Structure 1
Amino acid sequence: MLILLLGVVSTVSCAAVASNVVQIPLEIDNSMYTVNSLSLGLPAQSVSKIVLDTGSSDLVITHSVYDITKSTSAINSNLTFSMQYGSSDLFYVFAVNETLVGDDFKLSKFPLGYPKDTLIRDIVGYSGILGLGFRAFEALFRTSNNGKGVGYANFPQALKEQGITKSSLFSLNGQSDNPYVIFGGVDTNAYEGPLVKVPIIFIIGTNFVLDYYLYLDVTVNQVTFNNKEDKTVIANQPLAYWMDTGADSWLTTPAIYKNLYNCFQNTKLENEITWILIKELKKISITFNIAGFDVTIPLTDLIDTKNGDYASLKIDYATIGTETYQSIIPNAVYKYMYTVFDLDNGFVYLGKSSGSQRQVIKSVTNAELPVPTTTLKEYTNSYTTLYKDSLETMVASRPTSCKKKH
């Protein structure tokens, strides 16, 4: 979610909760996962409507929920850094060290970004952002060292460094009912089967490959358009996808975008917007194959705007190598899978959501998972060569049925 300038709280039935873990309940607010149970400073100021974001790495809190002048524990460094999220304008923040408290933890002198402009009371409609990404992607205390050895211990790492958890690993149960995130542990009852191990990959550019992690990118090996009549492969070239929980849109490539829209039967173009018949959308789903693990979402999860019997979709495209180095998988996928993020070791683990409300949580020490894991045959077919639209599969426009062009 972060753009860096580089060169009602739900309750869940808990049957067994391990020590050394931090569980935070979430709400889904306009497709974003939000945290609503934190407080900042002394005396405590409640903060809510904070986006849980693996697409950035810093905690940023706006003036709508926190007033630094009312906190006796705030330490303002007076250092300023630039921030920009999604469609927001560029803004500047002070780096502030503050006391951060949740139901299961208390962090002392935790860094956060606090806007210099007192008129900034929201970021793309939310009170703040809780970034969980890599240190190299931190905006606060950013230095020029090619992404290595910079920054500070952000939220998952600070929990471990201050002795609250034994691992900076965290896991997300993004199910529609009672979603939650666990730091330092795994809910073994939240998914089906062994967890599928997926490598996080380095950025591949036009003439370079980074040797450190910047984005939380994984390989998507195939994308399939599914309806009741058939299934059509609309992408079969390995491509880097950013696992950004703060992105509610699907960013893909021009070729895949064209293939997708060629599969629709009932569309109309108005004001440069393609509208699809809602009745048709209800029959369609999209499957992303992530290193062999399939996650399927109904396309209605990506509806943006409705226009009578038609709707537009939260889908856009950008050219790999010139406009971006990766596509973005929409955060709707997290409703259908359990996701474990092991940033220290460069892996994510995926499992089909079980939908169970009965938790069995096990703590993790140094990212050694206490549960069975597996790798699938696509594990070794990672994204290693810059994606080219010209090499993508082609799908012909369909008047009556979606057929692959040979």
Structure 2
Amino acid sequence: MKGYTSSALLLGPALLSQLALAQQAPNGVVHWGIQKRHAPNAPNRLLRRAGPTHQAILQNEQARGGYFATCAMGTPGQKVTLQLDTGSSDVWVPDSTASICNKGACDLGSFDPSKSETYTVVGQGEFDISYVDGSSSKGDYFTDVFNIGGTTVTNLTMGLGAQTDIAYGLVGIGYAINEAIVGNSHSLSSQYPNLPVAMVDDGLINTIAYSLWLNDLDAGEGSILFGGIDTKKYKGDLTRIRIYPSSNGYYFSFIVALTSLQAISPSGNDTLTSQEFPIPVVLDSGTTLSYLPQDIVDQIWQEVGAEYSDRLELAVIPCSKKSSNGYFSFGFAGPDGPRITVRMDELVLDLTSGDPPKYTSGPNKGQDVCEFGIQNSTSAPYLLGDTFLRSAYVVYDLVNNEIGLAETDFNSTESNIVAFASMSATIPSATQAPNQAAVTNRPVATMPSFAASSGFSDTGGSGNDGKDENASAGMPSAFGVAQMSVMGIAMVFAMVGSGVFVLL
């Protein structure tokens, strides 16, 4: 068992320089900036799926959709960049000896336990997380020093991916009960203090809670505040709504009730309906796109002129639609709950990192093809990923099992950080949504008039009237699809969620 020197985390010169800059941040917040970079070409992963306040800066990976934070592990600190994920609960990192790293794929860093003076194995062979497409990561659980955003957790339990086909690790910050070891052992007693819990145990934050500001699609950075909120990062009221447990009463993931959806454009408004209302949706930063029931997604696609591509197995849309003045209004927790506006420039995404494919026929012939940010799913829980979360300021309160929601203030340059007062304190500056009992009401599902449809047409005048006529005729040719890069194809699979959703 290796010893730990508690006096300081031994960082390299570059990390020490960054830390010194971070410690100069105002308001007692530790601020960590990172440079924009593309994630490595990891396998496609279609996954199931806080006193003082500490802040880390997250990179908005537009081409891949993920949000990444640069951290340091071990003594001396080894720099790694990990994807932030509210949909899973383990921090894990590829082992430097993993075959995928030996092939040069671990561009965001890996961990060499032989170079850390404070590394200790605590669960040999017990780290085992797998995903529905067959990708996985396996190895040991270990404890070591973990530094993120200038904040040090002295003895964090993490997973080491010795056998992994995923080229970068994750910072899972969900409920501890959703850790991989709990699902594998089928025992609640096997859970350990994951990162948010460990930060409380170390006295770094007052409660198990954090707030997320992803900023807009074109921004290079977003931020997360553990143990606090920033009142300058949202507009209007911050409203608390309840998180729903699984059928057995346990809280595994951030499921909230989506109770209304409207399409609004210069040509009119439509109330979209579904047999699934109230729709259980998971607010998951590890999901690139958003996934809703088929019946309401069909209405959304018809409103905006998106078309399902059998070849790509997802809905696509002319890239010019990004300039549309239309938007969607998502309502939560009943008729008096919060509403979040999501505009088209957050929902029209590049399919490739290079030249986009083009429509070869139909009303959109010659136009560039983009991916649409709302896709269809066949079963609950449904997912609201980054294409929704960028438009919302979201506070996750894992103690009171509540979510705080407000409209985001894009590109805000001001800051007013307020810490949670105690472990049981509710979300600061937030009021509870009234009449949440009305969430159980199921409105009658009817077909909208699509009055908003023509208003979603792009300003360039493509001639698309928003209907899905001749949908297959407008799809990219085989040549167009062949032009897509590996990164573009990865986005087709969208990195949906992160981690294993456990039901005991």
1 CA distance for matches of 2:441 and 2:143?
Answer: 40
Question: Comparing both structures, which one devotes a greater share of its residues to helix?
Answer: 2
> What per-residue deviation string (whole Å, max 9, x for no partner) do you get for residues 128-180 of structure 1?
1101111221113556557x454111111100011111112111122235421
- Matched-pair identity in %: 19
Give the TM-score taking structure 1 as reference length: 0.81
Q: 1:120–1:229: structure 2 CA closer, same or farther, 3 Å change rule?
A: same
1 CA distance for matches of 2:292 and 2:161?
Answer: 32
Match of 1:349 in 2: 404
> What per-residue deviation string (whole Å, max 9, x for no partner) do you get for residues 16-41 of structure 1?
336622111111113222102x1001
Q: 1:26–1:264: structure 2 CA closer, same or farther, 3 Å change rule?
A: closer
1:171–1:182 CA contact under 8 A, matched in 2: yes
Match of 2:9 in 1: none
Match of 2:210 in 1: 170
Match of 1:381 in 2: 438
Match of 2:370 in 1: 311
Q: Please, which of 25, 28, 40 is the counterpart of residue 17 of structure 1?
A: 28
> What per-residue deviation string (whole Å, max 9, x for no partner) do you get for residues 253-294 of structure 1?
121122222324475856365543333453132222122211
DSSP 3-state at the match of 1:368: coil
List alignment gaps of at least 5 residues for structure 1.
1-8, 204-208
Match of 1:41 in 2: 74
The aligned amino acid for 2:201 is: E
1 CA distance for matches of 2:406 and 2:418?
Answer: 16
1 CA distance for matches of 2:23 and 2:147?
Answer: 20
Q: 1:266–1:39: structure 2 CA closer, same or farther, 3 Å change rule?
A: closer
Question: Comparing both structures, which one devotes a greater share of its residues to strand?
Answer: 1
List alignment gaps of at least 5 residues for structure 2.
1-17, 30-50, 96-105, 359-366, 455-464, 468-504
2 CA distance for matches of 1:228 and 1:397?
Answer: 12
1 CA distance for matches of 2:225 and 2:434?
Answer: 29
2:346–2:390 CA contact under 8 A, matched in 1: no
DSSP 3-state at the match of 2:181: coil
The aligned amino acid for 1:319 is: T
Across the aligned residues of Structure 1 and Structure 2, the Cα RMSD in angstroms comes to 3.1
Q: 1:269–1:130: structure 2 CA closer, same or farther, 3 Å change rule?
A: closer
> What per-residue deviation string (whole Å, max 9, x for no partner) do you get for residues 55-108 of structure 1?
000101113321122212111231323213575613323111111123432212
> What per-residue deviation string (whole Å, max 9, x for no partner) do you get for residues 209-235 of structure 1?
221111110000012223321222223
Match of 1:206 in 2: none
Match of 1:161 in 2: 201
1:290-305 paired onto structure 2 within 5 Å: 290-291=332-333, 292-302=337-347, 303-305=349-351
The aligned amino acid for 1:221 is: T
Match of 2:83 in 1: 51
2 CA distance for matches of 1:393 and 1:13?
Answer: 56
DSSP 3-state at the match of 1:381: helix
1:81–1:141 CA contact under 8 A, matched in 2: no
Q: 1:183–1:55: structure 2 CA closer, same or farther, 3 Å change rule?
A: same
1:1-400 paired onto structure 2 within 5 Å: 15-17=26-28, 20-30=52-62, 31-36=65-70, 38-48=71-81, 50-63=82-95, 64=106, 65=109, 66-76=111-121, 77-85=123-131, 89-117=135-163, 120=165, 122=167, 127-140=168-181, 142=183, 144=185, 148-176=188-216, 177=219, 178-203=221-246, 209-235=247-273, 237-265=277-305, 267=307, 271=311, 274-283=315-324, 284-291=326-333, 292-302=337-347, 303-305=349-351, 306-308=356-358, 309=367, 310-320=369-379, 325-355=380-410, 356-364=412-420, 365-369=422-426, 371-377=428-434, 379-382=436-439, 392-395=445-448
Equivalences, count: 374
Match of 1:6 in 2: none
The aligned amino acid for 2:74 is: G
DSSP 3-state at the match of 1:164: coil
Is the radius of gyration larger for structure 1 or structure 2? Answer: 2
1 CA distance for matches of 2:304 and 2:230?
Answer: 39
Q: 1:26–1:230: structure 2 CA closer, same or farther, 3 Å change rule?
A: same
* 1:338 to partner: Cα distance: 1.8
1 CA distance for matches of 2:441 and 2:92?
Answer: 34
The aligned amino acid for 2:293 is: T
The aligned amino acid for 1:227 is: S
1:262–1:395 CA contact under 8 A, matched in 2: no
> What per-residue deviation string (whole Å, max 9, x for no partner) do you get for residues 333-390 of structure 1?
33222211101110011122234322222221214247332233453333599x9xxx
2 CA distance for matches of 1:72 and 1:111?
Answer: 15
Moved more, 247-256 or 354-363: 354-363
Moved more, 303-312 or 194-203: 303-312
DSSP 3-state at the match of 1:258: helix
2 CA distance for matches of 1:162 and 1:12?
Answer: 19
2:89–2:179 CA contact under 8 A, matched in 1: yes
